[in-house]
Amino acid sequence: MRRALRGPTLSFRGDPFRLPFEEAVHFRPDALIVIEDGVIVAVEDAATALAALPADIEVDHYPDAILSAGFIDAHVHYPQMQMIGAYGDELLAWLEKYTFVAEQDFADAAHASDVAGRFLRELLRAGTTTAAVYCTVHPGSVEAFFTESERFNTRMIAGKVLMDRNAPEALRDTAETGYEQSKALIERWHGRGRQLYCVTPRFAPSSTEAQLEEAGRLWREHPGTYLQTHLCENRGEIDWVRQLFPERSSYLDVYDHAGLTGPCAIFGHAVYMDETDFACCHRTGSALAHCPTSNLFLGSGLFKMVEARRTDRPVHVALGTDLGAGTAFSQLQTMNEAYKVAKLGGTTLTPAQAFWLATRGAAEALHLDDRLGTIEPGKEADIIVLDPKATPLLEFRSAYCRDLSETLSVLMTLGDDRAIRATYVAGERVYDRERKEAFCYAGEGQTQ
C-alpha cells in the first residue's frame, strides 16, 4: 500500500538538551511524506515532490496542522485505567487500597480484553503510538493486550507483572511460575508483527531475591526483549527496600546485582537518585521514565531532569504517563507537568526538549530509534497530526505565536487529546477525530 501525507512536519536532527533549537529541530513548513508498506520512503518539500508523485497515490493534506512522529509512552499500567483519579494516600497505601484490588479483576479474560481495547483507543486518541505497558500477574492480561495491539498493528512493549511476595494471594506467582509463564509469553508474542515483550518485576519489594534473579536470567536468555520496573519513587518505598535488601548499597543496586540493568531496561520514576545511581544508569545504558503527573498526584517528589541529562554522563530519559496514578493519557499534558516539575526544581524544560522526550529521545531510550521517533526515510510511519487550533483557546492563542518554539510551548501547555487531529500507525489512519466513528483497525477499514 502506498499513500502520502502533506503538511508542516516537525522532527529532530539532534538532542535539544545539547544543541540549540535551530540545530536540533527539523521543521518543514510544507512537506510531502511518502509511505509504502508502512514505512516512510521519502520526505521532501511538497512544491517539488508533488509534481513527481504518481497519480494513484492518495494524499492526505493537513495544511493547518503539524505532522510529528507518534508519541512514545515509556511507563504506563493498562489495568489501572479503571482506577484513574482514585483519591488520596501515598504510593504504598494507594497500591493496597486501589491497585491490587483493581488488578484482581484481570483474572477474567473478558474483562482484560474489554479494558485492553479501551486502553489502546485512548492511547491512539492521545497520539501515542508506542508504549511500555505493565499488564497484571495473569498471563491472560498479556494475551488480551497484545491481541488488541496486533489488531491496530501498533508497536507495543508489554509484559506480565512478576510478584511473589507482599501482595494479595490472588496476585502472587512464584519465582518458578513467573519465569515459565513469562517464557511462554515471550515465545508466543515477542517479535510477532510489531509486538515486543518486556520482563516485568513490579518493584523490588514485591519480588524475592530469587524472583529477581530469575527475571534477570529470563531477560539474558531472550536477547531483544525489554526489562521494566519501578525505582526510587517514594521515600517510604526506598526505606522498605533498604529493610528488605540490607546487603545492597541502594535501591538500584538491588536490580544491578540481579542483572536487571542494561540497554532496554526502563526504570519508572527515579525521583530520589544520587550521583552513583545516575552513573550506573549511564554506564549500563539503562533508561529512566519520568512520570510527572503521577509523581505530583501522589506527592512523590520532583524528578531531576538536568542531573539525569548531564552532558558528561547523560542518562536516557523518556516521558511516562504512569496511569492510573498518572492522570492523563496525553503526552501533551505530561509535557506540561514535566515543565512545572522542572520549574519547581529550580530548572526549566524547553518546548523542544519536551517534544524530543516524547519522540526521538524516547525512541533512543528504548533502542527503537532505528525504527521510530523521527519523520525520515526508513522509519516506520507512525505519525500524528497535531492541531494548534483544536479548541477556541488554542486557536486564539496560536494566532499570536511568534515562532515555532512558541507554538510548541502553547501546544504543550494548553493541548490534550483534542489537539490530536489524526493518528497513523504504519501508514494507516487508525484514528480520525473528524470521523463519526473515530477508530478503525489497521488493514480492515472497519469502524470500531
Q: Which amino acid is at 402?
A: R
Residues 115 and 168 grouped into a single domain: yes
Q: Of 341, 365, 389, which residue constitutes the final position of a domain?
A: 365
CB 159 within 8 A of CB 134: yes
Q: How far apart are CA 42 and CA 59, in angstroms?
A: 13
Residue 378 has pLDDT above 90, yes or no: yes
Spatial distance between the Cα atoms of 158 and 148, rounded to a whole number of angstroms: 12
Could you tell me if 127 and 245 lie in one domain? yes
Q: Is a pLDDT exceeding 70 seen at residue 294?
A: yes
With respect to residue 438, please indicate whether it lies within any of the assigned structural domains: no
Q: Judge if the upstream peptide bond of residue 259 is cis by omega within 30 degrees of 0.
A: no
88 vs 194, residue with greater confidence:
194
User: Does 437 reside within a domain?
Assistant: no
Whether residue 199 sits in one domain with residue 297: yes
- Predicted confidence band at 445 (pLDDT cuts at 50, 70, 90)? low
Domain count, the chain: 2
**Among residues 312, 340, 365, which one ends one of the domains?**
365
State yes or no: pLDDT of 448 exceeds 50: no
pLDDT at 443: 82
Reading the block at residue 230, the C-alpha cell is: 519501578
Per residue in 199-245, pLDDT (tens digit) is 999 999 999 999 999 999 999 999 999 999 999 999 999 999 999 99
What Å distances lie between residue 313 and 193, 264, 285, 310, 395, CA to CA?
35, 18, 11, 6, 41
Segment 18-50, tens digit of pLDDT: 999 999 999 999 999 999 999 999 999 999 999
How crowded is the C-beta side of 316, counted as CA atoms within 13 Å?
Answer: 27
**Do 34 and 171 share a structural domain?**
no
Indicate the pLDDT class of residue 6, thresholds 50, 70 and 90. Answer: very high
pLDDT at position 444? 74
Provide the residue type at 232 as one letter: C
Number of H helices, E strands in the chain: 18, 17
Does residue 383 carry a pLDDT above 50? Answer: yes
| pLDDT beyond 80 at 446 | no
Q: Is residue 173 a part of any domain in this protein?
A: yes
State whether 351 and 426 are in the same domain. no
| Average pLDDT value for residue range 250-262 | 98
Question: Could you give the percent of the chain with pLDDT greater than 90?
Answer: 96
Q: How far lies 193's CA from each of 147, 219, 362, in Å?
A: 11, 20, 21
Exposure string of 383-412, with b = 16+ CB inside 10 Å and e = fewer, is bbbbbbebbeebeebbeeeeebeebbbbbb
- CATH code where residue 398 lies: 2.30.40.10
Beta bridge partners of 61: 6
When the pLDDT of each residue in the chain is averaged and rounded to a whole number, the result is 97
In a domain, 441, yes or no: no
**Quick one: 387 and 314 in the same domain?**
no
C-alpha cell at 74: 515509556
Q: Last residue of some domain: 365, 386, 403?
A: 365
The angle formed by the CA atoms of residues 49, 55 and 56, to the nearest 5 degrees, is: 120
- Asked whether residue 257 carries a pLDDT value surpassing 80, the answer given is yes
Q: What is the secondary structure of 387-441 as a DSSP string? A: -TTSSHHHHHHHTT--SHHHHHHHHHHH--GGGEEEEEETTEEEEETTSSS-BB-
Report pLDDT for 341.
98
Rounded distance, CA 40 to CA 58, Å? 14
pLDDT tens, residue by residue, 114-159: 999 999 999 999 999 999 999 999 999 999 999 999 999 999 999 9
Please tell me the distance from the alpha carbon of residue 95 to that of residue 426, in angstroms, as a whole number: 36
Same domain, 162 and 222: yes
**Are residues 103 and 121 located together in one domain of the fold?**
yes
Question: Residue 186: which CATH number?
Answer: 3.20.20.140
Residues 122 and 196 in one domain: yes
- Residue 443 inside a domain? The answer is no
Task: For residue 298, give its domain range.
Answer: 71-365
Per-residue pLDDT, 176: 98
In a shared domain, residues 254 and 396: no
- Say if residue 226 is in the same domain as residue 82: yes
| Dist CA 165 CA 154 (whole Å) | 33
Helices 404-414 and 351-358 meet at what angle, rounded to 10? 60
Considering the domain architecture, whether residues 304 and 199 belong to the same structural domain is answered as yes
In a domain, 13, yes or no: yes
In this model, does residue 12 exceed pLDDT 50? yes
190 residue type, one letter: H
Confidence of residue 447 (pLDDT cuts 50, 70, 90): very low
**All three cell numbers of 330:** 496525553
How far is it, in rounded angstroms, from Cα 22 to Cα 192? 39
Give the count of beta carbons closer than 10 Å to the beta carbon of residue 222.
Answer: 17
CA end-to-end span of the chain:
22
Peptide bond into 373 cis (omega under 30): no
Structural domain includes residue 279: yes
Q: Check if the beta carbon of residue 76 is closer than 8 Å to that of residue 95.
A: no
Residue 35's pLDDT is: 98
Cα dihedral 260, 263, 268, 272, rounded to 10, equals 80
State the pLDDT at residue 53.
95
> pLDDT tens across 258-274, in order?
999 999 999 999 999 99
The residue among 375, 426, 379 whose CA lies nearest residue 66 is 375
- Residue 284 included in any domain: yes
Torsion over CA: 432, 62, 155, 99 (sign): negative
